[in-house]
Amino acid sequence: MNHRLLFIGLLAAASVCLGACHKGGPEEEAEEEVVIPVETAAVTRGSIDAAYRGTTTLTAREQADVVAKASGIVEQVLVEEGDAVSAGQVLARLETDRLRLEAERARAEMDRLKSDFNRNHSVYQRNLISREAYEQTKFQLDAATAAYDLARLSLRESEIKAPIDGVVSSRLIKIGNTLQANEVAFTVTQLDTLEADVFVPERDIYKLAAGQPAVLRVDAWPNESFEGHIQRINPVVDPGTGTVEVTVAMRPGQSKLKPGMFGRIEIRYDRHDQATLLPKDAVLDEDGTQSVFVVADGKARRREVTLGYADADYYEVLEGLDSGDQVVVTGQSNLKDDVSISVVNLKPAATVEESSEKPGEDSSQADPAVAQSDAPRKS
């Protein structure tokens, strides 16, 4: 803050001096040359990435609603939200007294008919009963066996089990609740298989391919980034929005990420090494032309530049500047070509070696598709 206040004060003093000079005659103007205070930085060399940026909400690749397969009153709830469960684990039980009695009755009926069938089978082999009577006993035994199997199935279905491995993300029942068949009781979510869906304009989809790396940043952890890669690209363009759905799979083991988190994602599709890097604050945009003020012999000289990729702090310079050039990064809005300047950097300008070790993190091409936050400043 003190640094900025000092610089503003110097600019104000220069403006007063400029106004005083205009009050004098032509001879005084020739004698007193206005010197504008500025801050400068060096053009460096380093790596810069190009990336598509978008926003997304994390979702779980695997998530299942656990439903009750039978009707009944909840007798036991064995897990709570946040508990890790495995496939087949019992999460809750319904009252089973009636179902158990029905299963026992069905078994007794099956045993009776099995005894009748075995007796009739021996008699039938001696031709003492008709074939029709023998087959009727067999059909009755088959029906009783099926009824017993159904009764045992209903008894097993009184236990509500997890269909997948994961974490209980929602519990919707309490002891004593009456559940109907197919009513949702729990939700189980796999937290280690997260995805982020991004809807990319069709004009940019040619830049992306499966396997390209992606970086996600979320508000919950503002100083951290999380890694992923493109899992798949939908082959169909949505005619309503003109976008293509791109699914990014997040790397497993990033436990700070949770389903439902909102974040900003960057899909990196290209990288330029040993690029000429220009600080973003130095660039002026006037009528679609980008330019900078270069420091030479104590004067600021305006120079047009051609820009390439951009990240959070730098532009890639394709034409107009060389590594090591000093450019004005603060105060250029008050400059004219070939005006005298005074460099008042309170911190030394970055050297080539220092900046070349800092690759770009957020990037996109310097074209009309670049986000407004990456666009050069108006002069």
State the pTM of this model.
0.59
- Tell me: do 197 and 178 sit in the same domain: no
pLDDT of residue 33: 67
Alpha carbon 160 to its chain centroid, in Å, reads 33
Q: Determine the structural domain holding residue 239 and report its residue range.
A: 54-62+191-269
Query: How far is the C-alpha of 151 from the C-alpha of 109, rounded, in Å?
Result: 12
Evaluate if residue 379 carries a pLDDT over 60: no
pLDDT of residue 210: 93
Q: Which residue has the higher pLDDT, 132 or 329?
A: 329
Question: What is the percent of the chain with per-residue pLDDT over 70, rounded to a whole number?
Answer: 82
Instruction: Return the residue matching tokens 């603060």.
Output: 330
Evaluate if residue 77 carries a pLDDT over 70: yes
Final residue belonging to a domain, choices 251, 269, 287: 269
> pLDDT digit string (tens) for 274-298?
899 999 888 988 878 889 999 988 8
Query: How far is the C-alpha of 121 from the C-alpha of 131, rounded, in Å?
Result: 10
Query: How far is the C-alpha of 244 from the C-alpha of 265, rounded, in Å?
Result: 15
pLDDT of residue 373: 37
The CATH number linked to 73 is 2.40.50.100
Alpha carbon 42 to its chain centroid, in Å, reads 35
Average pLDDT score over residue span 327-345 = 82
Evaluated on CA atoms 345, 346, 349, 355, the torsion sign reads negative
> pLDDT digit string (tens) for 2-28?
455 444 555 554 444 444 444 444 544
The encoded tokens of residue 325 equal 């050039």
The encoded tokens of residue 161 equal 């089990």
pLDDT of residue 97: 77
Evaluate if residue 31 carries a pLDDT over 60: no
Alpha carbon 327 to its chain centroid, in Å, reads 37
The CATH number linked to 138 is 1.10.287.470
pLDDT of residue 238: 94
Alpha carbon 333 to its chain centroid, in Å, reads 38
Closest CA to 181 of 65, 296, 70: 70
The encoded tokens of residue 293 equal 């003020």
Strand partners, 243: 201, 238
> pLDDT digit string (tens) for 343-374?
887 555 444 444 444 444 444 443 433 333 34
Final residue belonging to a domain, choices 107, 134, 157: 157
- Tell me: do 237 and 309 sit in the same domain: no
- Tell me: do 231 and 244 sit in the same domain: yes
Coil/strand/helix, residue 316: strand
Confidence of residue 125 (pLDDT cuts 50, 70, 90): confident
Confidence of residue 90 (pLDDT cuts 50, 70, 90): very high
- Tell me: do 372 and 299 sit in the same domain: yes
- Tell me: do 323 and 370 sit in the same domain: yes
The pLDDT mean for the chain works out to 81
Say how many domains are in the chain.
5
- Tell me: do 153 and 164 sit in the same domain: no
Q: Which residue has the higher pLDDT, 102 or 13?
A: 102
Average pLDDT score over residue span 56-62 = 93
C-alpha atoms less than 13 angstroms from C-alpha of 219 in its C-beta half-sphere: 6
Average pLDDT score over residue span 78-95 = 92
DSSP state of 128: -
- Tell me: do 207 and 58 sit in the same domain: yes
- Tell me: do 178 and 71 sit in the same domain: yes
- Tell me: do 70 and 150 sit in the same domain: no
Cα angle, residue 373 at apex, residues 367 and 378 outer, rounded to 5°: 80
Q: Which helix (H) or strand (E) holds 110?
A: helix 97-125
Identify the top-confidence range among 96-105, 234-243, 338-347, 364-373: 234-243
C-alpha atoms less than 13 angstroms from C-alpha of 268 in its C-beta half-sphere: 20
Least confident span in 36-40, 74-78, 232-236, 365-369: 365-369
- Tell me: do 104 and 138 sit in the same domain: yes
Evaluate if residue 157 carries a pLDDT over 50: yes
- Tell me: do 109 and 86 sit in the same domain: no
Question: What is the largest distance, in Å, between two alpha-carbon atoms of the chain?
Answer: 143
- Tell me: do 233 and 294 sit in the same domain: no
pLDDT of residue 239: 93
pLDDT of residue 376: 52
pLDDT of residue 32: 61
pLDDT of residue 217: 94
Final residue belonging to a domain, choices 240, 269, 298: 269
